[in-house]
């Protein structure tokens, strides 16, 4: 149902009129078509609650009147926190719920509300708990939130060591559309602390991770914090081809070195600049400036200086062993400013990809590490075929048990032909990658979800059943999962 004046009045009485708006310009400012997805609709109204009880009352009102609700934390997932349905209904902007509620350095977790941004929590820990790091996303801007990224199961600054963000979540507090409040993990026991993920029986937490706000509104999250030593460095390795990069890196990763291990191809460098800039786009130019064809950065943290040196030594031994086998690998000598910019958290490293054509799309896939070279080659070939700069980024998840791979499609979002080419590229590669058993981890509504669920119909059937259980009136937005 649409939002009528009576509903607006009721929402104003819950949060106060200053936190409700139907202003067209503000509604449009939330819409994002790029970064992670191209589909996004304008909501009818933005409501900005501060307290859990306000969220509960808003959801009960929406449930009674069957009005769609889309939760947004930082809104930096690029349209994933925008409605996909019409009418768009209520956009529940949770940015005012921005308290860091508890830090426990013994059980090693922090409890946050949805609006706690990465810049805010990073500063808070540097000032108050410098020996601990909150798991902020590795490359997302400071305005992203810890909770939003963990719900998305994103990749953090320590993902190569600790796995996806979702693996660090210990418990959630969720307001369901019916107004019930559900806590997961050990938190479900009244009076218990959120110290144990697996809780009081089969655990519900995983249902909400990756659910894109389709099942309820998470109002608190307990998430692990990790040791944050002062001794840090970046070791960058250079390769001529992706096969050698895959092999040598995996051998090092099996020794469990590095907190964040990521790299890609040389195209990651020029596409951070304006397409019209005078700098050439051919590899020979960048080669002369020391940029390798393929590279992998190992961010290493040492509890002591000796620990840091030991990690570097392990890498060095593998590099020497590879060279003795005739494999072409070398060090990429980084300028101290390049090292500093990679170590800076939170960073703005990925934002410049918008400079190339005006917008970009991260199309993210999970695959076994051993698929990395093939993934890169297919992406490079198909991106060139469709007329895009073949920019590919890859990273290790949990010491290379998995690889996250991402073509960064730089496109002109004001040109309908460009948008159509993005769609066609995405459609063709999705079929290729699903055939190989690779998984799109932030599925979009038009290509990934239909292609994936048509192959996994049994799983989709049960997902729909779960959705009906938590959200019987279907008021939570369907997300890109088409739920
Ligand atoms: C330049 C750039 C670089 C990036 N780099 C990274 C990176 O290195 N690692 C990474 O993982 N990601 C990265 N991202 C993606 C994105 O920024 C992160 O995933 C981000 O942290 C998401 O958090 P958010 O607060 O912006 O989430 P939002 O966009 O607000 O929400 C994400 C999803 O969760 C749902 N949601 C939000 N809040 C709630 C709630 N309280 N209850 C229920 N559902 C909710 C939304 O509906 C949406 O589907 C990057 C994005 C950009 C623009």
Find out whether the beta carbon of 164 lies less than 6 Å from any atom of ligand 1.
no
DSSP letters for 2-38: ---HHHHHHHHHHH-GGGEE--HHHHHHT---BBTBS
What local confidence, expressed as pLDDT, does residue 222 receive?
98
pLDDT at 150: 97
Full DSSP string of 421-472 = HHHHHHHHHHHHHHHTT-EESS--TTTHHHHHHHH-HHHHHHHHHHHHHH-T
> 189-213: per-residue pLDDT in tens?
999 999 999 999 999 999 999 999 9
Query: What's the confidence (pLDDT) of residue 450?
Result: 96
Residue 87 and residue 42 in contact, taking contact as beta carbons nearer than 8 Å: no
pTM check: above 0.85: yes
Nearest to 220 by CA among 115, 113, 147: 113
pLDDT digits (tens, 9 = 90+) for 243-281: 999 999 999 999 999 999 999 999 999 998 888 888 888
Cα 195 to Cα 37, 87, 244, 257: the distances in Å are: 35, 41, 42, 27
Supply the residue whose CA is at minimum distance from atom 8 of ligand 1. Answer: 139
User: In angstroms, what is the span from residue 248 Cα to ligand 1's centroid?
Assistant: 32
- Quick one: tokens of 277? 């800039």
Residues of the chain with pLDDT under 50: none
What is the rounded distance in angstroms from the CA atom of residue 57 to the CA atom of residue 49?
10
Largest CA distance in the chain: 76
- Contact predicate 367/402, CB 8 Å: yes
Q: How far, in Å, is the centroid of ligand 1 from the Cα of 428?
A: 26
Fold of 100-227: 3.30.465
**Using a 6 Å cutoff on CB, does residue 172 contact ligand 1?**
no
> Which atom from ligand 1 is nearest to the alpha carbon of 35?
53
pLDDT at 348: 84
The pLDDT value given to residue 254:
98
Write down the residue that tokens 């990521």 correspond to: 262
- Atom index in ligand 1 nearest the CA of residue 117 equals 25
User: With a 6 A CB cut-off, is 364 part of the ligand 1 pocket?
Assistant: no
202: Cα separation from own chain's centroid: 26
What is the C-alpha separation between 116 and 223, in angstroms, rounded?
13
Is the distance from the beta carbon of residue 77 to the nearest atom of ligand 1 less than 6 Å?
yes
| Domain range 5-96, CATH architecture | 2-Layer Sandwich (3.30)
> How far does residue 191's CA lie from ligand 1's centre (Å)?
30
For residue 72, which atom of ligand 1 is closest to its CA? Answer: 30
Which H or E run contains 234? strand 231-239
**Could you tell me how many helices (H) and strands (E) the chain has, helices first?**
16, 20
| Alpha helix stretches (DSSP H) within 69-221 | 118-128, 146-151, 159-162, 205-208
Contact 393, 408 (CB under 8 A): yes
Q: Indicate whether residue 145 lines ligand 1 (CB < 6 A).
A: yes
The residue whose CA has the least distance to atom 27 of ligand 1 is: 148
**Distance between Cα 77 and ligand 1 center (Å):** 4
351 lines ligand 1 (CB under 6 A): yes
For atom 44 of ligand 1, the residue with the nearest CA is 213
What is the C-alpha separation between 333 and 313, in angstroms, rounded? Answer: 16
- The confidence score (pLDDT) of residue 50 equals 98
For residue 76 and ligand 1, the question of a CB distance below 6 A is answered with yes
User: What is the distance between the alpha carbons of residues 194 and 198, in angstroms, rounded to a whole number?
Assistant: 10
Q: Tell me, using a 6 A CB cutoff, whether residue 83 lines ligand 1.
A: no
Question: Which of 152, 174, 445 is the pocket-test mutation for ligand 1 (most atoms within 8 Å of CB)?
Answer: 152
Here the tokens at position 467 are 């959705």
Task: Decide: 261 and 336 in contact? Cβ < 8 Å.
Answer: no
**Residue 479 CB less than 6 A away from ligand 1:** yes
Domain ranges of the chain: 5-96, 100-227, 231-440
CB atoms under 10 Å from CB of 362, counted, come to 19
Question: Considering only CA atoms, which residue is closest to atom 4 of ligand 1?
Answer: 140
Structure tokens that stand for 169 in this block: 């979540």
> What fold, for 231-440?
Vanillyl-alcohol Oxidase; Chain A, domain 3 (3.40.462)
**Residue 137 Cβ contacting ligand 1 at under 6 Å:** yes
C-alpha dist (Å) from residue 3 to 10, 67, 86, 88: 11, 7, 11, 9
- Say how far apart CA 37 and CA 46 lie, in whole Å: 21
Using CA atoms, how far apart are residues 347 and 289, in angstroms rounded to an integer? 24
457 burial via Cβ count (<10 Å: 0-12, 13-18, 19+): exposed
- The alpha carbon of 37 and the centre of ligand 1 are apart by a number of angstroms equal to 12
User: What is the per-residue pLDDT for 374?
Assistant: 98
Quote the pLDDT of residue 37.
80
């Amino acid at each position: 149902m649409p939002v009528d004046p009576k509903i607006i009045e009721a929402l104003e009485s819950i949060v106060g009129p200053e936190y409700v708006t139907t202003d067209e310009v503000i509604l449009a400012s939330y819409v994002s078509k790029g970064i992670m997805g191209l589909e996004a609709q304008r909501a009818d109204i933005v409501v900005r609650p501060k307290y859990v009880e306000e969220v509960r009352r808003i959801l009960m009102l929406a449930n009674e009147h069957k009005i769609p609700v889309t939760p947004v934390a930082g809104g930096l997932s690029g349209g994933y926190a925008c409605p996909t349905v019409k009418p768009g209904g209520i956009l529940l902007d949770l940015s005012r719920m921005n308290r860091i509620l508890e830090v426990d350095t013994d059980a090693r977790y922090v409890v946050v509300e949805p609006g706690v941004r990465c810049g805010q929590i990073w500063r808070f820990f540097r000032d108050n708990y410098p020996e601990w790091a909150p798991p902020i996303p590795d490359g997302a801007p400071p305005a992203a939130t810890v909770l939003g990224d963990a719900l998305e199961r994103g990749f953090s600054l320590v993902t190569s060591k600790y796995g996806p963000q979702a693996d660090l979540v210990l418990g959630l507090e969720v307001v369901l559309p019916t107004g019930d409040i559900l806590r997961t993990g050990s938190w479900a026991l009244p009076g218990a602390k959120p110290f144990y993920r697996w809780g009081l029986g089969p655990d519900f937490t995983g249902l909400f991770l990756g659910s894109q706000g389709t099942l309820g509104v998470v109002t608190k999250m307990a998430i692990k914090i990790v040791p944050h030593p002062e001794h840090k460095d970046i070791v960058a390795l250079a390769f001529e081809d992706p096969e050698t990069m895959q092999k040598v890196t995996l051998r090092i990763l099996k020794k469990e070195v590095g907190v964040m291990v990521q790299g890609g191809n040389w195209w990651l460098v020029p596409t951070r600049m304006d397409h019209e800039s005078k700098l050439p786009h051919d590899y020979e130019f960048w080669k002369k400036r020391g940029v390798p064809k393929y590279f992998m950065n190992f961010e290493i943290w040492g509890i002591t200086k000796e620990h840091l040196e030991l990690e570097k030594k392990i890498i060095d031994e593998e590099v020497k062993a590879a060279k003795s086998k005739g494999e072409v690998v070398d060090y990429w000598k980084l300028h101290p400013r390049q090292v500093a910019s990679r170590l800076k958290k939170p960073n703005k490293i990925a934002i410049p990809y918008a400079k190339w054509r005006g917008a970009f799309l991260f199309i993210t896939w999970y695959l076994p590490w051993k698929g990395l070279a093939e993934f890169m080659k297919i992406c490079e070939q198909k991106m060139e075929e469709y007329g895009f700069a073949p920019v590919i980024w890859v990273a290790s998840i949990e010491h290379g048990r998995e690889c996250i791979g991402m073509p960064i499609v730089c496109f002109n979002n004001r040109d309908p032909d460009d948008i159509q080419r993005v769609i066609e590229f995405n459609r063709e590669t999705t079929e290729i990658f699903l055939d190989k058993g690779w998984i799109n981890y932030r599925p979009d509504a038009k290509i990934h979800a239909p292609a994936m669920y048509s192959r996994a119909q049994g799983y989709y059937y049960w997902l729909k059943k779960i959705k009906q259980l938590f959200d019987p009136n279907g008021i939570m937005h369907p997300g890109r999962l088409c739920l």
